[in-house]
């Protein structure tokens, strides 16, 4: 939810198509695509010039810096400059009188990049900013020309590159060099360039994917760009049907069944301890289910008698009802992208070891 005052300013900027220095504007979002579809699009377009960068985790920030003032808006349009004084000072010290930068704040603990949920929680709690790194990936305002959002990305990137930011680390940041990192970028102009460069971006930790930008890409304030693509993996992603059922008993015991129809002979069955519509992290047990008719059960809440499939109690009645349904895409790296009526977004599976019976779903 965007701050009321910032939303008002963002609407004025969107309608006028002109940035107001010191005021929050709607960030341009990438369009999520499968790797093969993007490569096909580039081939059909005879490989236009483009740039590839890592897809960063963490918190989006928008930095408005002048000689004597600085504002740092988060994705909700709230100025967080007082929360990150060290990072604010480093932005102020960049050798340009006036600028607007876009960056992502990542949280690193014990040499590992933390996921979005942990990072957002870190901001809500009291935190130490020494664990944060700001990956700078775009510039939209310079002293001579002021608002440059209408320039092609190729020109904006050149301006950013010439600022000579101290570090440009692909993976683990070097905090001895500060908390700013110029997002590593590769220029691509042919299929050979893509084959040569793109794997290093996919494989560097954390393996969160890439952002591919056409050199001609211009910035706008109307949502997603059709010239900037988010690719989470090179692996093929398939769509399957899913249902989320609430499974409960007369004695108030309950869990949630996530059923995914992704195999010819059986359903993938996740028994969730809590409701994923209300939680961002849920523990579950993974099983399979031979009877595919369970995908249809619970369209209207129905009872399940004791000692029957779905209710192994001796004498306690159970009920089941569908909470949500839709499509889910699953990558080979165990990322689930749900597109239900209520359950949406990317969830990642993790478990402590290959033999662990309990796993965890975390919303990205």
List of residues 6+ apart from 4 with CB closer than 8 A: none
pLDDT at residue 152, as a whole number = 97
pLDDT at residue 239, as a whole number = 84
pLDDT at residue 99, as a whole number = 98
List of residues 6+ apart from 36 with CB closer than 8 A: 236
pLDDT at residue 77, as a whole number = 96
Outline where the chain has alpha helix (H). Answer: 4-16, 35-44, 85-92, 116-124, 153-161, 191-203
Q: Kind and range of the H or E element at 244?
A: strand 238-249
Query: Which DSSP string corresponds to 5-30?
Result: HHHHHHHHHHHHT---TTS--PPPEE
Distances 312 to 249, 288, 309 between C-alpha atoms, Å: 11, 17, 7
CA 166 to chain centre: 26
Q: Kind and range of the H or E element at 293?
A: none
pLDDT at residue 354, as a whole number = 61
pLDDT at residue 151, as a whole number = 97
d(CA 74, CA 104): 9
pLDDT at residue 250, as a whole number = 84
pTM passes above 0.85: no
Q: Radius of gyration (Cα) for the chain, nearest Å?
A: 24
Question: What are the structural domain ranges in the chain?
Answer: 4-16+25-229, 238-363
CA 194 to chain centre: 23
pLDDT tens by residue, the chain, 364 residues: 899 999 999 999 999 999 999 999 999 999 988 888 898 888 888 889 999 999 988 899 999 999 889 999 999 999 999 999 999 999 999 999 999 999 999 999 888 888 777 787 777 776 778 899 999 999 999 998 999 999 999 999 999 999 989 899 988 899 999 999 999 999 998 888 887 788 889 888 888 889 999 999 999 999 999 999 999 888 766 789 999 999 999 877 899 999 999 887 889 999 999 999 999 999 999 898 999 999 999 999 999 999 999 999 999 999 999 999 999 988 766 789 999 999 999 898 887 666 667 889 888 7
Q: What angle do CA 183, 189, 194 make, to 5 degrees?
A: 70
Give the CATH class of 4-16+25-229: alpha beta
- Asked if residue 206 has a cis previous peptide bond (ω within 30° of 0), the answer is yes
| DSSP SS3 for 90 | helix
């Amino acid at each position: 939810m965007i701050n009321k005052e910032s939303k008002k300013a963002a609407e004025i900027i969107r309608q006028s198509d002109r940035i107001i220095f010191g005021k929050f504007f709607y960030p341009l979002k990438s369009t999520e695509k499968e790797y093969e579809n993007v490569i096909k699009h580039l081939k059909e377009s005879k490989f236009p010039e483009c740039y590839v960068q890592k897809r960063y985790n963490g918190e989006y920030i928008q930095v408005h810096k002048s000689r004597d003032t600085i504002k740092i808006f988060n994705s909700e349009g709230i100025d967080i400059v007082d929360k990150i004084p060290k990072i604010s000072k480093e932005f102020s010290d960049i050798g340009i009188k006036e600028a607007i930068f876009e960056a992502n704040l990542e949280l690193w603990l014990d040499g590992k990049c933390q996921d979005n949920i942990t990072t957002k929680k870190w901001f809500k709690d009291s935190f130490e900013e020494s664990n944060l790194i700001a990956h700078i990936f775009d510039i939209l305002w310079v002293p001579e020309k002021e608002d440059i959002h209408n320039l092609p990305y190729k020109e904006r990137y050149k301006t950013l590159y010439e600022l000579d930011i101290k570090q440009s680390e692909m993976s683990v940041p070097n905090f001895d060099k500060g908390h700013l990192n110029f997002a590593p970028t590769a220029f691509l102009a042919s299929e050979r360039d893509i084959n040569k460069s793109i794997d290093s971006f996919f494989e560097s930790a954390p393996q969160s994917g890439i952002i591919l930008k056409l050199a001609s890409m211009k910035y706008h304030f109307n949502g997603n760009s059709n010239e900037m693509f988010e690719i989470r993996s090179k692996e093929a992603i398939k769509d399957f049907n899913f249902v989320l059922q609430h499974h409960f008993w007369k004695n108030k015991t309950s869990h949630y069944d996530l059923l995914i129809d992704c195999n010819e002979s059986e359903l993938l069955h996740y028994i969730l301890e809590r409701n994923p519509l209300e939680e961002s992290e849920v523990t579950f047990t993974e099983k399979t289910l031979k009877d595919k008719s369970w995908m249809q059960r619970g369209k209207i809440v129905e009872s399940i008698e004791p000692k029957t499939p779905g209710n192994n109690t001796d004498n306690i009645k159970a009920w089941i009802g569908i909470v949500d349904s839709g499509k889910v895409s699953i990558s080979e790296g165990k990322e689930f992208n749900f597109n239900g009526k209520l359950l949406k977004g990317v969830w990642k599976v993790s478990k402590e070891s290959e033999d662990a019976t309990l796993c965890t779903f975390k919303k990205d």
